[in-house]
Amino acid sequence: MSRIFITGSADGLGQMAARRLVDAGHQVVLHARSAARADEALKAVPQAECALAGDLSSLAETAALAEQVNRLGRFDAIIHNAAVGYQEPRRIATVDGLPHVFAVNTLAPYVLTALIEKPQRLVYLSSGLHRSGDASLDDLAWERRPWQGTAAYSDSKLHDALLAFTMARRWPQVLSNALEPGWVATKMGGPGAPDDLAAAPTTQVWLAASDEPAATVSGAYFYHMKPRETHPAVGDVAVQERLIEACAGFSGIRLPD
């Protein structure tokens, strides 16, 4: 059985994935943005090992969360599930002065990847909207562009796919993949979302814990456990490296070799 850490698992797809994993006998550590939310997460999935708290919109809290994870010992897999959506009508600045969407969806998984002891598997949740993301990586902090919530979200989900493929290349001993769960009726997706909610957590659970040959690959992108085409830039090493350098610049944290 595997030991798995899931970010953003107080509700939504993160909690659904946690339930499936503990039901299958795996050891799961939950995460929420605050201590109160972490308590709620543990009440919802009481079979979990514990629930950690850390606000991923803060670079300092994200780094502190990585320390908490490392104190618990090594994990077999980490599912980078936490994200905020595209409904933000304006550029909301974090405590670090960065756009909320960029901080949570892009920088947080980068920082956690850099600071948490290498697991055997990394799983990053992207979105079909990543295909309309801006691969130029210009103005990542949205300081010059007029704010567009959907575009900011699409960019961040492109970044998540780029991060997954980067880690597959840089860390060949780690299985690193990305996926899109579909547009489903979670708090983020909204009640009118058309895709199958029950199927939405399946791929991340499979990539995190399955020993099937199709799941034990690296540098791939999936939808419902099947490979799916990505934005052309996702496999571009130059674009990958530009994103990594940008994230290092914003966070002050570099990826280890």
Helices (H), the chain: 12-23, 35-44, 59-71, 100-102, 108-115, 149-170, 202-209, 237-251
Q: Name the active-site residue from 86, 124, 153, 221.
A: 153
CB atoms within 10 A of CB 256: 11
Average pLDDT over residues 226-254: 98
Give the pLDDT confidence score for residue 147 in this predicted structure.
96
| Banded model confidence at residue 185, pLDDT cuts 50, 70, 90 | very low
Segment 68-77, tens digit of pLDDT: 999 999 999 9
Q: Which fold has domain 3-251?
A: Rossmann fold (3.40.50)
Give the pLDDT confidence score for residue 188 in this predicted structure.
58
**160 phi-psi bin (left φ>0, alpha ψ -120 to 50, beta other):** alpha
Spatial contact of 224 and 182, defined as CB atoms under 8 Å apart: yes
pTM for the full model? Answer: 0.95
Whether the predicted pLDDT of 132 surpasses 60: yes
**Active site (annotated) includes residue 86:** no
Query: Cα separation of 202 and 232, whole Å?
Result: 25
Whether the predicted pLDDT of 194 surpasses 70: no
Give residue limits of the domains in the chain.
3-251
Give the pLDDT confidence score for residue 238 in this predicted structure.
98
The vertex-251 CA angle with 173 and 75, nearest 5°, equals 35
**Active site (annotated) includes residue 157:** yes
The vertex-197 CA angle with 13 and 156, nearest 5°, equals 50
Segment 143-158, tens digit of pLDDT: 999 999 999 999 999 9
Q: Name the active-site residue from 43, 157, 187, 226.
A: 157
The chain-wide mean pLDDT, for the chain, equals 95
Query: Cα separation of 114 and 255, whole Å?
Result: 5
Give the pLDDT confidence score for residue 235 in this predicted structure.
98
Average pLDDT over residues 219-246: 98
Burial (0-12, 13-18, 19+ Cβ within 10 Å), 240: buried
Whether the predicted pLDDT of 195 surpasses 70: no
Q: Compute CA distances 152 → 87, 101, 107, 140, 196, whole Å.
A: 10, 7, 13, 9, 25
